[in-house]
Structure formats: structure tokens, C-alpha cells
Amino acid sequence: MANTTMDANTTIGLDVEEEGISLDALTIDETEKTKFLVEPDDSTIKKVTTGDTIYQTAKRFEDLNLSKDLLTGLYVEMNFKTPSKIQSIGLPMILSPPYRDLVAQAHNGSGKTACFVLGMLSRIDINLKAPQAICICPTRELAIQNLEVLKRMGKHTQITSICAVPTGKTSLNSDRGPIRDQIVVGTPGTIKKWMSHKRFNAGNVKMLVFDEADHMLAEDGFKDDSERIVNTLRKSCCAPLCLQVLLFSATFNDTVKKFVSKMIKDGNQMFVKKEELSLESVKQFKVICPDEAAKRQVIDKILEIGDKLGQIIIFVRTKKSAKMLHQALDTEGGWKCTNIHGDYDTVKRDEIVKEFKDGFTKVLIATDLLARGFDQAQVNLVINYDLPTQYNPSEPHNPSAEPHNEVYLHRCGRAGRFGRKGAVLNLLCNDPDMMLMEKIERHFGIHVSQVPDYRSDEDISAALKEAGLL
């Protein structure tokens, strides 16, 4: 027992204690009350529970006391057979009273979304026609995608749901009136607006889910919005454990963990070591390019092979580069591709995403708008035209010298969904780029192989072959 306790402490990174932050949620209770359930067949996920509840791992969905209609959704609509690891460990923690908060870190494409969607659907009182569960996402695209999963999984139930994202159209009738749907999935601004306009009664909300929670709680993310929503909902709830907060993400850096520990008291946790975070399922490469033009040459070569590849996402750092690269590849280069970023209106964004998801477009140039959560099984190649960098407030227009490791991991996660073959190509053209790549490799403890010559068709093909794409 003592050993297990030590182990868990290490995993969660209690080094933050040195900085004098209270660690209510992340501190391990050393008394007998705390139970650690170590999975014999899976040491990669660490489960830490609070209180005296014992959670059985769910080997089958039947173990979870789900309604018959929900089981039908899982088997018939989703084609699920048995719970994934995160689902078998996480769902019992979510669904057993007392309904404790949960911080869950799970690999990209490990069934995270299905886990919290199933959690929301199972806790709805079908006879109460009011919002009971809310899910907040960082982008409009992710909210729409999550609601689609929810509608599919809940198809055979009578549960109603609605998307709270900006519609573009102003105060029409559809924008007023009370919300009676039982589940709301949306982005922070619209949810905040609906709450402040009293469009629904917050008193019945018993579950609040943050997708991509680390970003939702980050200083340069949506921390203020998220905090306000949690506080409002906690206040409108009757008992201390009335509102169950679930935080899901593939990444939680130390800064965010500190804040999580302040926001979540007496919660359960699931964590994965950072070295074990899914970067092994996609094969990563770096291509050294002398200049920006060379980067486009590499992309040209890849598009020439195009037909044999699946869909491709090219990530860039700024909206401006998204537009420019699109211009260069499509208008000037004659390659049919699209691009997406936050400057486009909602109609255009929806259209671009739909075209890509329907397979009408093969190549999509994107800002980090699509870095997280975007799920398209046919994407097997991610190209980092620019590497993701931390935001540097003192020099907002220049890329920082520090890489954004979490965003890098999330971008990689767009390729090779659910264990499929995938590749990531990092295009580097100067010393700062090389430094960023080195830092990323060091952070994850990985080696990214170098494509010998950017001008060589053979070298590039060889890399894609090695990744299993050709």
C-alpha cells in the first residue's frame, strides 16, 4: 500500500507543492480511506480516488447499469463492443454516487468523448425537461462534433440536446425563448450569454463537462469564462456534491494542474505519464528546408503522391499564413485545397468542415482552431508548416522561442485516429525552428527522424512508407 501511494504521488507531479499552492484535489490522502486500484493489464493509467467509494472496473457496458435504450445506441449506432480502457475505468467513477468530480487525462483517440458523452446521457432524468448536463468546448467545431456523437449515441433515448454556439444571425426568434433541452453542448461565450439572459434554469444542472479542459482552464485560454460558469452553477446547486464537474484532456501541464487543484475539491483522478501519451502511434519526421519556398516544394511533392495518401491537415501559426499558403497552393499551385481559421464567418467554417468530413476536400490548411479534438479517421498525415509556439505577450507578433508542447501533441493526435497508421511531417527552415523541434523532442523524450534531403522524392516517399502510409 505504501508503495502504491508513493507511485501515485510521483505520477501526478506533486512538485507543485514547493510553490506553496494548496493541493486539495491533487494531494493523496494517506489514510486508509484512499483506495488505489491498479489495473494489472494496464499500468499506463493511474487512478486516484477520494473517499471510501470502491470503483469496479467495467469490463462490459452491461456493468454500468445503463438504460436499454442507451445500450442500443452503443451497440447499434456506435458499433461499440466493449468499453475502452478510459471508459472502463472512468465511467464507474462518473456514474457511482456520490457523484464526485473527475479529472481525466487520456490519450488522443482513446474514446474520451464517448466516455463523457455516455456519462452525460446516463445521468439525465428523462422526465425533467430542463438542462441537466452542460459540456463546454474551446471551439465551435468541437462543440458541433461532440453534439453529433451525443445525438448518435442517444438516438434511441428520448433525451433532447442543443448546441450553444454562435449562429451568426442576430436576435431572431430562435435566439430567444427558454431552453428546455436536457443537454447543452457549446462554447463558453454562448453558454455564458444564455446563462446571464436566464434562458435556462441553472438549478437543474448536475453535470458540467470541460472538453479539452487544460485549455479551457488556461490563462491564455478560457480560464475566466470557465471559472465564472463553474461558480455560477455551483451556487445555483443545492448540495455540495450536487454539481459534478468533469475535466477531460490529453494534456494537463503543471500550471493548469495547480489551478485544477484549486477548482476541484475531493475529486477523483486518472492520469497518464507524459511519455506515454500516444506520440508512439504516429511516426514523426523533420524536414530541413533552406527557406519558406522549400517548404512549399516539399508540400508539392507530397501532393503529387496525393492519391495514395489519405486526407491531410497542414497546420500554420497565423491566420495570415493560412490565407497565404492557401493562395500559394490552390490559386497559384493548382492543388485543390481549403483553409479554415477564425476570421471566416460561421457559415463558411461549417461548410469547410463539412466538405472535409464528407471527403470532398483532401487537403485542409488550418490554424490551431483544429489542433484539438477534431476527429476525422481518414486523416493520416499532419504537416506542421510552422511549429506551435507559446504565446509571448511582450512580443505578440513574433513566434516565441518556446514550443507549445501540448499543442504539438494535440496536432499529432489528428493523424492516426484510434490506432490507425499516421505520420507527422515537421517543416523546419531556420535555427529557431530547429531549436523548437529539439525542445519538443526533449520534452517528450522522443527522437524525430530526419528526412535526409528535402529535394528528394525518394526520401519523402521512404518516410511515408516507413510510417505505413504508402
Partner DNA sequence: AAAAAAT
Q: Which residues bind DNA (CB under 7 A)?
A: 138-141, 164-166, 186-190, 193, 215, 218, 220-222, 225, 317-320, 341-343, 367-369, 391, 393, 396-397
What is the rounded distance in angstroms from the CA atom of residue 249 to the CA atom of residue 277?
Answer: 11
| Shorter beta-carbon distance to DNA: residue 258 or 317 | 317
Instruction: State in angstroms the smallest separation of the CB of 371 from DNA.
Output: 7
Instruction: State in angstroms the smallest separation of the CB of 107 from DNA.
Output: 21
| Shorter beta-carbon distance to DNA: residue 87 or 145 | 145
Angle of CA points 356, 358, 363, to nearest 5°: 25
| Shorter beta-carbon distance to DNA: residue 113 or 190 | 190
Instruction: State in angstroms the smallest separation of the CB of 207 from DNA.
Output: 20
| Shorter beta-carbon distance to DNA: residue 45 or 136 | 136
Instruction: State in angstroms the smallest separation of the CB of 214 from DNA.
Output: 11
Instruction: State in angstroms the smallest separation of the CB of 236 from DNA.
Output: 20
Q: How far apart are the first and last CA of the chain?
A: 49
Instruction: State in angstroms the smallest separation of the CB of 220 from DNA.
Output: 4
| Shorter beta-carbon distance to DNA: residue 51 or 189 | 189
Cell of 250: 490529453
| Shorter beta-carbon distance to DNA: residue 360 or 391 | 391
Instruction: State in angstroms the smallest separation of the CB of 86 from DNA.
Output: 24
| Shorter beta-carbon distance to DNA: residue 220 or 300 | 220
Instruction: State in angstroms the smallest separation of the CB of 313 from DNA.
Output: 13
| Shorter beta-carbon distance to DNA: residue 74 or 366 | 366
| Shorter beta-carbon distance to DNA: residue 152 or 228 | 228
Instruction: State in angstroms the smallest separation of the CB of 211 from DNA.
Output: 12
Three-state SS sequence of the chain: CHHHHHHHHHHHCHHHHHHCCCCCCCCCCCCCCCCCCCECCECCEEEECCCCCCCCCCCCHHHHCCCHHHHHHHHHHCCCCCCCHHHHHHHHHHHCCCCCCEEEECCCCCCHHHHHHHHHHHCCCCCCCCCCEEEECCCHHHHHHHHHHHHHHCCCCCCCEEEECCCCCCCCHHHCCCCCCCEEEECHHHHHHHHHCCCCCHHHCCEEEEECHHHHCCCCCCHHHHHHHHHHHHHHCCCCCCCEEEEEECCCCHHHHHHHHHHCCCCEEEEECHHHCCCCCCEEEEEECCCHHHHHHHHHHHHHHHHHCCEEEEECCCHHHHHHHHHHHHHHCCCCCEEECCCCCHHHHHHHHHHHHCCCCCEEEECHHHCCCCCCCCEEEEEECCCCECCCCCCCCCCCCCECHHHHHHHHCCCCHHHCCCEEEEEECCHHHHHHHHHHHHHHCCCCEEECCCCCHHHHHHHHHHCCCC
Instruction: State in angstroms the smallest separation of the CB of 436 from DNA.
Output: 14
| Shorter beta-carbon distance to DNA: residue 273 or 319 | 319
Q: What is the Cα 397 distance to its own chain's centre? A: 26
* Cα-based distances in Å from 292 to 360, 404, 459: 28, 21, 19
